Chain A
Amino acid sequence: AQSVTQLGSHVSVSEGALVLLRCNYSSSVPPYLFWYVQYPNQGLQLLLKYTSAATLVKGINDFEAEFKKSETSFHLTKPSAHMSDAAEYFCAVKKNYGGSQGNLIFGKGTKLSVKP
């Protein structure tokens, strides 16, 4: 069965510091992976997606993620945190129904706090 695990339910960084949010996946087939961000009382906004075209994926707002098959990881990074990055981040994998794709399976989320 496919799944994603996000390490750390809360991460706190200082403004200007590196942001690193961890995600590990489990999948017996090539995974399609996503990172979403959710601000309070809002829906989910797509940050970036991995669909096997390139292992280093660049997204919006200077976020990027690297797909590492050997480590089954898809960690999200940003070189310099802004106060506006404070939100909850979700890693997700697209479910595979025997060859066709389906819904998203989400991790539990990581709340990012940014200190001034």
Chain B
Amino acid sequence: KAGVTQTPRYLIKTRGQQVTLSCSPISGHRSVSWYQQTPGQGLQFLFEYFSETQRNKGNFPGRFSGRQFSNSRSEMNVSTLELGDSALYLCASSLDQGLTNTEAFFGQGTRLTVV
């Protein structure tokens, strides 16, 4: 069974640009969550999508957005990039994050560097 796939693995962008990251969840999983990992702030929750709807959202500015497609694949977009957006972005999939006895499976992440 294939795991969670994130593309691309590495990305370098310039301040002010926008970027789109992609996540393909494990087959059958309908919940996809995104996390940002930085040395200073650690792992922080961005948002969760379930059945193409954003179900929960973390405390991030509106420049961060996402969507989920009918096949459960998800994308997140960051507009007007800032240096502080440099981070490892992790995607996690689960059958349904809303259930108690489910765990999240993580992809390898996309390392975004903003210069």
Interface residues, chain A, with chain B CB atoms under 8 Å away: 32, 34, 36, 41-46, 49, 51, 90, 94-95, 97, 100-109
Task: Give chain A residues whose Cβ lies under 8 Å from the Cβ of B33.
Answer: 103-104
Q: A32-B100, A102-B56, A102-B97 are in contact. Are A44 and B90 (CB under 8 A)?
A: yes
A43 near B98: Cβ-Cβ < 8 Å: no
Report the bound CA distance from A49 to B111 in whole Å.
27
Task: Give chain A residues whose Cβ lies under 8 Å from the Cβ of B97.
Answer: 101-103
Chain B interface residue number, banded: 20 to 34
The stretch of B11-19, B73-81, B102-110 that contacts the partner chain: B102-110
The 8 A CB mask of B1-12 against A (1 = contact, 0 = none) is: 000101000000
The 8 A CB mask of B88-103 against A (1 = contact, 0 = none) is: 0010100001111111
CB distance from A38 to the nearest CB of B (A): 9
Main DSSP-derived SS at the A contact region? strand
Of A46, A51, A97, the contact of B100 (CB 8 Å cutoff): A51
Point out which of A36, A43, A102 has the most chain B C-beta atoms below 10 A from its C-beta.
A43
Of all chain B residues, which has the CB nearest A48?
A: B103
Of all chain A residues, which has the CB nearest B44?
A: A106
B108 near A42: Cβ-Cβ < 8 Å: yes
- Say yes or no: is B115 at the interface (Cβ < 8 Å to chain A): no
CB distance from A79 to the nearest CB of B (A): 24
CB distance from A24 to the nearest CB of B (A): 16
Q: A34-B103, A102-B97, A102-B98 are in contact. Are A43 and B42 (CB under 8 A)?
A: no
A103 near B108: Cβ-Cβ < 8 Å: no
